[in-house]
Structures are given as structure tokens and as C-alpha cells.
Amino acid sequence: MKKLNITRLAAEVGLSRETLYGWKRDGMDLADKKAVVKRARAVHAAKAGLGDMQAARLAKLQAEAAIKQHEERRLRGEFVLRSEVEEWFVKLGAAGNAALHRLAVDLPPMLVGLNETQMVPVIRAAIDQVSAAIADKDSFAWAG
């Protein structure tokens, strides 16, 4: 019968000699190579699972740290709430709409007696005034 080479067997299954000697002390027949390989695969699978668990824990910790950092930045005022942005756009739309409707009232008296060529600068000036009013949130267009 061939002499069992524990060092070679340990290298083949990817485990230490000490592990194999421990199995032998526990009553495992190390000459049964199929049984040794099967148990070694189970050990490797368990180690891989442990690595997966460690990776999952690390990912969880990183996600928790990112959430905490985001919350700290929000509390410092580095972010604007979505509701505030939506409210701002509603106000912008209302201001623009009001200013455009006001043009329908303000422009006709300014255009009386002017020909088309003379109307263009008056209309452009009115449009510039509306644009400036919308851009300036302290103007009349933002009231309300």
C-alpha cells in the first residue's frame, strides 16, 4: 500500500496539513481521497460564504456611512429639498404667466399711433422689462 503524503494531499485540496491532521484525529480516513476532497470543498464553500458575508457587512457599513454623511450635509443646508425646488418653479411659472398677461394690458396704449417699425423697440423693451421682473425675485412679478 502507498504511503499517504499529507503534505501533497493538503496542497491538492488547498488546506493546511494541520487541518488534515485534525480531521484524522476526528476519525476521518485521509486515504479516502473522495471524502477528503468533498469535505475540503465544503470548507472552501464555507470560507467563500464567510467572505460574502463580510463583503455584505462592509457594503452595509459603507451605505450607512453614506446615508449619515448625506443627512449631515442636508442638515448643514448643502442640499435643497425637492419640495422647495418644486415650489420655486411654481412661483416662477406664476410670475411669468402674470407678467405676460400684464403685457396684454400695458402694451396697447404704448403702441397707439406707432407703425410696425416703431413698435418693435417698444415691444422689446416691454419684454426685457418682463424678463428682468421674472429674474428679480423681489420684483412685483413674484408677489403673492
Compute mean pLDDT per 10 residues along the chain, 144 residues long, and list them.
Answer: 77 90 88 88 76 76 87 85 87 83 89 92 90 73 54
Nearest-angstrom CA–CA distance, 65 and 76: 17
CB contact at 8 A, 99 and 106: no
Nearest-angstrom CA–CA distance, 129 and 77: 33
Whole-structure pTM over 0.85, yes or no? no
pLDDT value at residue 118: 94
Per-residue DSSP letters for 48-91? HHHHHHHHHHHHHHHHHHHHHHHHHHHHTT-S--HHHHHHHHHH
pLDDT tens-digit map of 65-75: 888 988 888 88
CB atoms within 10 A of CB 100: 13
Q: Which one, of 32, 38, 6, lies nearest residue 20 by Cα?
A: 6
pLDDT value at residue 1: 41
